[in-house]
Structure 1
Amino acid sequence: MSKPANQIKGILGFPVAPFKDNDQLDVQALAANITFLIDGGLDAIYVSAGAGEFQSLTRSEYEAIVEIAVSLSRGKVPVYTGVGGNIKEAVELARITQAKGADGYLILPPYLINGEQSGLYEYFKTIIESTDLNAIVYQRDNAVLSLGTLTKLAELPQFIGLKDGVGKMESNIEFVQTLGNRLSWINGMPFAEVTYPAYVPLGFTSYSSAISNYIPHISRMFYSAVQENNQALLNELYKEVIFPINNIRKQRKGYAVSLIKAGMEIMGLPVGGRVRAPLIPVEKEHYAQLEVILKHALDRFPKKTAIESSK
């Protein structure tokens, strides 16, 4: 077994890919999004991944996004990219990630195909070994690993973490109990704040936060409440913020991305609401509901109060 991984901890931010009305990448809005996340105290950023509409980016857009993220981070936080889909393209994107100076990449599930465990192993192994960068595997959809496959992948030194988007707790317990701190364990479930408190006792040390794109102070407040076992505050955050937003998110497929952009727009961040098909923008009714929730959230948990409570 390879050496223990450098622990990934805290709140992980996933910038969006802002598009102008002419469907061109808005690099200024992207830079504002990344800077906002870094200034908000997030512990790492992951560009051109799920929230960044990885599946719809051109190669030139992908390269521009990575360049901007690396330039703006200036070593303040690690920068990871999303790679995946077609195995040949995934390897190429991994090498672009290394050439642009990023810290590593999150390997998304392979395109369309449901493979056997041996095939999934070869898929991830090929991408992981294509560079010397840190590699994290995103387990979800058609990429669900067995303990045997995960243990075999853990022999590769570049492989440092598993992001779980499946939620099968029996498997997660078995994974952590078997591999311990050899890997970092990341909660990547839809709207991860909902489930993160259940993941912590298993050994998971971080989660991806969609709401950090527009209310990062509440993300930090939530994370601190979990670490401090402040159940009263957690209950209030669930009732007043987490569940209401998640209830909107569940109304339409694709809101996992477009609702982030809507929240950012409501909060005055210049990204617009445009998404690329097959995603759809947030409907007017749901947009209005989100406006009400966010106004209430800011009234109840103003930024100053949230920062103070997290200390």
Structure 2
Amino acid sequence: MSQIRKAPEGILGFPVAPFNGQGKLEEEALFQNIQFLLDEGLEAIFIACGSGEFQSLSRAEYEQMVEIAVSAAGGKVPVYTGVGGNLSTAVEWAELSAEKGADGYLILPPYLIKGEQEGLYQYTKTIIESTDLNAIIYQRDHAVLTLGQVERLTELKQLVGLKDGAGDMDLNISLSYTLGDRLGLLNGMPMAEVTMPAYAPIGFTSYSSAISNYIPHISRMFYEALLNGNKQLAKDLYKHVILPINDIRKQRKGYAVSLIKAGMEIMGLNVKNVARPPIVPVEKDHCRQLETILKNAMDRYPKKTAAI
């Protein structure tokens, strides 16, 4: 699938890294969670990225996660990995991703350093050229490339997409109307459903969905309502599900990751509310709030196979 030079489209699955009480990776839980996303029709799997606590994984754990994702996907959907941080490690893990049969990777920011645009270009170019896998740029934090630098990178055939997590809409509009025919554009903002009404009209019709990890049928319902112009349904989903969950997410740093795990545990999936430092687990009161939101959501938008 890596030779299909096109970014995945639709709702993109970003599995968590399920850890047990001793902080060890639970392989069976990860396989089950990926299978759950596939059964729910998500269009791609992005393994060991931000929600997968990329920054906390050892090389052996990263390798495990990639192997499990490729095995679970079985060629039915593309599998992308996360690479980034230290340049040498990023290249090593890109090569490992190719060795393990992944279809591409998402380029996460380099560690700590705020580089000049030429430095960011060289960092990204070095990673992209290291393999023949598809590559997607992730615009966020201290690694946001200008339109000019992205244009330079489009000379590389491996580059298939750009994911935005910075929220610079002036830049996004320029990218869309200049390079939208060349690159797939993905919304990667925290809890992307919140910003999709602004992103979809300019061509960012694909996104990473945190809530799809535990209420994927509602994520799908929202996605279809948005693209089909069902404003009333989209408004209702915002009111009763999306904005209330987002209000909890904003309460603590790191909840963009750990709140996913809490939601999965509440919904009876094989994941515990355990994260590695510096990410903290969701506090009990916030878990209770989330449980109430999900109970009401399931009552209002039921799915026969799902229950709290």
**TM bucket by the smaller chain?**
over 0.9
Quick check: 2:13–2:213 contact (8 Å CA) kept in 1? Answer: yes
Is 1:134 matched with 2:134? yes
Give the aligned partner of residue 208 of structure 1.
Answer: 208
Measure the CA separation in 1 of the matches of 2:163 and 2:245: 23
The alpha-carbon deviation at position 204 of structure 1 amounts to 1.2
The alpha-carbon deviation at position 6 of structure 1 amounts to 1.8
SS in 1 for 2:89: helix
Please show how residues 1-311 of structure 1 align to structure 2 within 5 Å. Answer: 5-303=5-303
CA spacing shift, 1:7–1:98, aligned 2, 3 Å: closer
Measure the CA separation in 2 of the matches of 1:7 and 1:33: 23
SS in 2 for 1:269: coil
The alpha-carbon deviation at position 205 of structure 1 amounts to 2.3
Measure the CA separation in 2 of the matches of 1:270 and 1:72: 16
CA spacing shift, 1:87–1:286, aligned 2, 3 Å: same
SS in 2 for 1:71: helix
Give the aligned partner of residue 309 of structure 1.
Answer: none
Measure the CA separation in 1 of the matches of 2:121 and 2:32: 38
Identity of aligned residues (%): 67
Runs (5+) with no aligned partner, structure 2:
none
User: For residue 92 of structure 1, what is the amino acid of its counterpart?
Assistant: E
Aligned length: 303
Quick check: 2:84–2:109 contact (8 Å CA) kept in 1? Answer: yes
Measure the CA separation in 1 of the matches of 2:59 and 2:6: 30
Measure the CA separation in 1 of the matches of 2:269 and 2:37: 11
1:74-130 Cα offsets, whole Å, 9 max, x none, are 111110000000000000000000000010000000000000000000000000000
The alpha-carbon deviation at position 270 of structure 1 amounts to 1.2
CA spacing shift, 1:304–1:232, aligned 2, 3 Å: farther
Measure the CA separation in 2 of the matches of 1:15 and 1:305: 20
Q: Which runs of 4+ in 1 moved over 2 A?
A: none
Measure the CA separation in 2 of the matches of 1:157 and 1:81: 18
Measure the CA separation in 2 of the matches of 1:285 and 1:200: 34
Runs (5+) with no aligned partner, structure 1:
307-311
User: For residue 159 of structure 2, what is the amino acid of its counterpart?
Assistant: F
SS in 1 for 2:181: helix
1:206-265 Cα offsets, whole Å, 9 max, x none, are 000000000000010011001101000000000000000000000000000100000000
1:133-165 Cα offsets, whole Å, 9 max, x none, are 000010000101111101001111101100000
CA spacing shift, 1:183–1:281, aligned 2, 3 Å: same
User: For residue 42 of structure 1, what is the amino acid of its counterpart?
Assistant: L
CA spacing shift, 1:48–1:148, aligned 2, 3 Å: same
User: For residue 291 of structure 2, what is the amino acid of its counterpart?
Assistant: E
Measure the CA separation in 2 of the matches of 1:105 and 1:84: 10
Quick check: 1:5–1:182 contact (8 Å CA) kept in 2? Answer: no
The alpha-carbon deviation at position 304 of structure 1 amounts to 5.1
The alpha-carbon deviation at position 180 of structure 1 amounts to 2.3
Measure the CA separation in 1 of the matches of 2:167 and 2:35: 31
Quick check: 2:103–2:134 contact (8 Å CA) kept in 1? Answer: yes
The alpha-carbon deviation at position 189 of structure 1 amounts to 0.4
Measure the CA separation in 2 of the matches of 1:239 and 1:253: 23
SS in 1 for 2:180: helix
Measure the CA separation in 1 of the matches of 2:251 and 2:119: 35
**TM-score w.r.t. structure 2 length?**
0.96
The alpha-carbon deviation at position 20 of structure 1 amounts to 1.1
User: For residue 264 of structure 1, what is the amino acid of its counterpart?
Assistant: M
Quick check: 1:16–1:261 contact (8 Å CA) kept in 2? Answer: yes
User: For residue 208 of structure 1, what is the amino acid of its counterpart?
Assistant: S
